[in-house]
């Protein structure tokens, strides 16, 4: 019995191996069939022919050299840059650089965004401005005769008007500061008598500069420049005509009420004439000795303007001359 078992054992082992291989193959086939059944199959009614599609090749165009290499030195620049435009490096024959680099020089003009951002004035070169002026000459009138120099301008147009225009990057072009008007005129260009001059200076007050002799009126109360200009002209005209007006109470003013020193209306006139006519008995008023015009002017200037080196020396000279001190005859 043991011998029969030894003979049959190898056959049983081979049979088990074959059975295991067969079962594994069967399970794999069953798995593939299940996957094929679960996969969604596409119905292709029209078979597409597969063709080899070649990619389109783009040829890069040859970039010509910059225009500046062909420009002549005596060319007409107004034909190259006739109007305002953004900066173009190939059209400007100048080695322009702009920008900031930590190390090295500033970027060149090619592909430089900084040069394209800012406005340029390449269209306003001297030759271009000259051409514009020549084209506008036919629309202009000849310069009026008698105004060849600045002195003649001042004689005919003594009033200076100063206004300011602003250029700004805002939604509106209007600037509230542009409404201000500054009007100035020299006091010597206005004709006054002594009473009118004193009254005019009192009306304008601090608007008169004694060092420059200018009367300045600044108007900015109105919203428009034209309105402020009319207002400033009105103020100047009103002050000028009002200065010539004499009120009835002004004739009753005494010496203590005077705003300034006036020789003819002061008691010093009697004192000076008494000194000059000391020991003399003139028969008529015309024979009396009177103060000279130079002395009167220096005395009024000394008292009205105050004591300084010039006024004191001038007053001293006029007193010596009037009293004939030094033994010299008049």
Structural domain boundaries in the chain: 87-140, 150-252, 260-323
**pLDDT confidence band for 239 (50 / 70 / 90):** very high
d(Cα 201, Cα 181) in Å, to the nearest integer?
Answer: 21
CA 36 to chain centre: 84
Query: CB–CB of 239/197 below 8 Å?
Result: no
Query: CB–CB of 202/259 below 8 Å?
Result: yes
pLDDT for the residue numbered 50: 60
Q: Is pLDDT at 34 greater than 80 in this prediction? A: no
The CA-CA-CA angle for residues 157, 160, 162, to 5°, reads 145
d(Cα 205, Cα 196) in Å, to the nearest integer?
Answer: 14
Domain 150-252 carries which CATH code? 3.30.160.20
Contacts of 187 by beta carbon, 8 Å cutoff, 6+ apart = 197, 201, 208, 213, 214, 215
pTM: 0.53
Q: 218 has which bridge partners?
A: 182
- Interval 172-204: pLDDT, tens: 878 889 999 999 999 999 999 888 988 899 899
């Amino acid at each position: 019995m043991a011998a029969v078992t030894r003979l049959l054992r190898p056959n049983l082992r081979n049979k088990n191996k074959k059975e295991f291989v067969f079962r594994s193959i069967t399970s794999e086939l069953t798995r593939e069939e299940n996957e094929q059944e679960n996969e969604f199959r596409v119905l292709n009614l029209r078979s597409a022919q597969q063709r080899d599609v070649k990619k389109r090749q783009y040829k890069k165009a040859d970039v010509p050299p910059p225009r500046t290499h062909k420009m002549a030195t005596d060319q007409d620049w107004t034909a190259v840059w006739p109007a305002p435009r953004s900066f173009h490096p190939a059209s400007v024959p100048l080695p322009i650089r702009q920008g900031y680099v930590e190390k090295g020089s500033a970027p060149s003009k090619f592909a430089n965004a900084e040069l394209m951002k800012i406005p340029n004035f390449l269209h306003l070169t001297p030759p271009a401005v000259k051409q514009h002026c020549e084209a506008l000459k036919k629309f202009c009138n000849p310069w009026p005769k008698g105004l060849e120099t600045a002195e003649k301008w001042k004689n005919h147009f003594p009033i200076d008007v100063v206004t300011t225009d602003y250029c700004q990057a805002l939604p509106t072009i209007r600037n509230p500061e542009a409404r201000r008007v500054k009007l100035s005129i020299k006091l010597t260009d206005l004709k006054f008598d002594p009473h009118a001059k004193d009254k005019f200076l009192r009306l304008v007050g601090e608007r008169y500069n004694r060092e420059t002799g200018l009367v300045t009126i600044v108007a900015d109360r109105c919203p428009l420049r034209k309105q402020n200009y009319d207002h400033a002209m009105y103020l100047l005209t009103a002050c000028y005509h009002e200065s010539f007006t004499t009120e009835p109470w002004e004739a009753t003013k005494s010496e203590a009420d005077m705003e300034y020193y006036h020789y003819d209306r002061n008691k010093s006139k009697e004192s000076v004439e008494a000194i000059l006519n000391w020991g003399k008995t003139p028969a008529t008023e015309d024979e009396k000795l009177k103060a000279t015009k130079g002395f009167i002017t220096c005395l009024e200037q000394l008292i009205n303007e105050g004591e300084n080196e010039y006024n004191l020396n001038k007053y001293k000279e006029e007193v010596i001359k009037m009293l004939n001190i030094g033994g010299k005859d008049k």
